[in-house]
Structure 1
Amino acid sequence: MSTFGAPAVIFDLDGTLVDSEPNYYEAGRQILAEHGVPDFTWADHERYVGISTQETVARWKELYGLRAPVEELLAAKNRRYLELARASTSAYPEMRTFVELLAGEGVPMAVASGSSPLAIDAILAGTGLDTYLRTAVSADEVARGKPAPDVFLEAARRLGADPADCVVLEDAAPGAAAAHAAGMRCIAIPYVAAQADAPEFATAGLLLRGGQAEFTARAAYDWLVRTAPERPR
């Protein structure tokens, strides 16, 4: 039992727990180049941060007039991403410390991500975070991806937690919107600094405008303790 009533903590994966966006960008850049789009930039990629891979690929098909079916593009991008992710994905050190701190307090934890189940499993195993994060929900497993609340609500259901008792950690505006829609508190750590003023982040209980450079495990833990709802004795 934690000192703050053991709320559940739900983590977004990409850009929140691990620095995987460079791999997503490179996978997307390679796939688009193979389909006749040679000039996909990091700035282009940033527009899709926080959006599920399936929705991203669907938008590419429309925007670039790609002839391949969405399913084919999605499978190719996922394959390429997994190759890159297995070779090099690192967890943010303070996030790892935070996960370990919460695990020591017996806090239920889950991952809720727009990535595929295979990608989630590969990254958690590769970083060793699967030791602590054994519950994971992919947007592929629910009806709607972020900014809909489905992945967070499903994570809460699997943890046996009331959504009102859950705290979400998110790096992207759609994820912050999804947490708010789910009725959950949110610690927002914007991956793209220029998006820190997005209205979706204004709903977060704690907004760290400096992103991962500003996040510390101890400060996040102290915020949880300080803001925990009072429990009946």
Structure 2
Amino acid sequence: MSKKAFLFDMDGTMIDNMWYHFKAWEKMMLELGGGLTGEALIPHLYGKPPELLTRVYGSGKFTLDEMNEIGARKEGYYREMYEPYVKLLPGLADFLRAARDRNIRLGVGTASNIPNIDMVLQKTGIAEYFSSVVSADDVERSKPDPETWLKGARELGVLPADCIVFEDVPKGVEAASRAGMSCVVLTTNHTSEEFEDFDNIITIVPDFTALDIDKLAGF
């Protein structure tokens, strides 16, 4: 059975940008004091800013409004750092064109906010391909909850079983599994061994040049 839709995570999947998020959070932690830096910070780099800040500082350190303001400042630092270097992973532009030519519906599902998403989609010229964009502000629960992927499928008008998710982190693959979706893994930030416990993975690749779209989609 051919697949009808592809759903893409953004950070680490469409672009190799996690170092810039890390440096922006590290700068923010140094400003706040008492946070994490270096390798100790890396495992916490997922989810919405309030979720990350609660993991690092514990509950009660900041109000929700304060955490949202801190998150906005951090995202500003991130865009300043990354904006001059935005580029897609190898092969993605051609892959998106090929998917559109085959009438595969395309969506983005990410924990990033709208300004970050717009920066990437506009600067790389791929905004036209996507009929659904689900941001951090569009869901109540971040990955590994399946809400992001299920909302994307609904917006594209397809069943979860008709979707393939493209992800780079285990929590995103778990979210796809819980949504009833197959997954392609990009090894941008994690090794293939870190995904051994998942049974919804079709293939694991370094970038989009390694994918045969007809074979993948079942045409």
Check whether TM > 0.5. Answer: yes
- Does the CA-based 8 Å contact 2:88-2:124 persist in structure 1? yes
Deviation at 1:162, TM superposition (A): 0.7
Cα distance in 2 for partners of 1:205, 1:89 equals 28
- Does the CA-based 8 Å contact 1:51-1:174 persist in structure 2? no
Q: 1:21 maps to which residue?
A: 18
- Does the CA-based 8 Å contact 1:147-1:177 persist in structure 2? yes
What is the aligned counterpart of 2:213 among 218, 221, 227? 221
Deviations for 1:194-229, whole angstroms, at most 9, x for unmatched residues?
4733455x2233242xx52xx344634144244x7x
Q: 1:71 maps to which residue?
A: 68
27-36 vs 172-181, which moves further? 27-36
181-190 vs 75-84, which moves further? 75-84
Deviations for 1:121-153, whole angstroms, at most 9, x for unmatched residues?
221111112121242101321121100000101
1:83 to 2:75 alignment? no
- Does the CA-based 8 Å contact 1:8-1:108 persist in structure 2? yes
- Does the CA-based 8 Å contact 1:167-1:184 persist in structure 2? yes
> What SS does the corresponding residue of 1:111 show, helix, strand or coil?
strand
Deviation at 1:178, TM superposition (A): 0.3
| Runs of 4+ with >4 A deviation | 65-68
**Structure-2 change in CA distance of 1:124 and 1:44 (3 Å):** farther
Deviation at 1:50, TM superposition (A): 4.4
1:179 to 2:176 alignment? yes
What is the aligned counterpart of 2:47 among 51, 55, 68? 51
155-164 vs 215-224, which moves further? 215-224
1:205 to 2:197 alignment? no
Give the structure-1-normalised TM-score. 0.82
> What SS does the corresponding residue of 1:86 show, helix, strand or coil?
helix
Q: 1:101 maps to which residue?
A: 98
136-145 vs 9-18, which moves further? 136-145
> What SS does the corresponding residue of 1:196 show, helix, strand or coil?
helix
- Does the CA-based 8 Å contact 1:10-1:167 persist in structure 2? yes
127-136 vs 161-170, which moves further? 127-136
Amino acid at match of 1:224: L
Cα distance in 2 for partners of 1:79, 1:23 equals 11
Cα distance in 1 for partners of 2:41, 2:106 equals 29
- Does the CA-based 8 Å contact 2:45-2:52 persist in structure 1? no
Q: 2:121 maps to which residue?
A: 124
- Does the CA-based 8 Å contact 1:48-1:56 persist in structure 2? yes
> What SS does the corresponding residue of 2:44 show, helix, strand or coil?
coil
**Structure-2 change in CA distance of 1:77 and 1:97 (3 Å):** same
Deviation at 1:85, TM superposition (A): 3.3
- Does the CA-based 8 Å contact 2:6-2:163 persist in structure 1? yes
In structure 1, the gaps of 5 or more residues are 229-233
Please tell me the root mean square deviation across aligned C-alpha atoms, in Å: 2.5
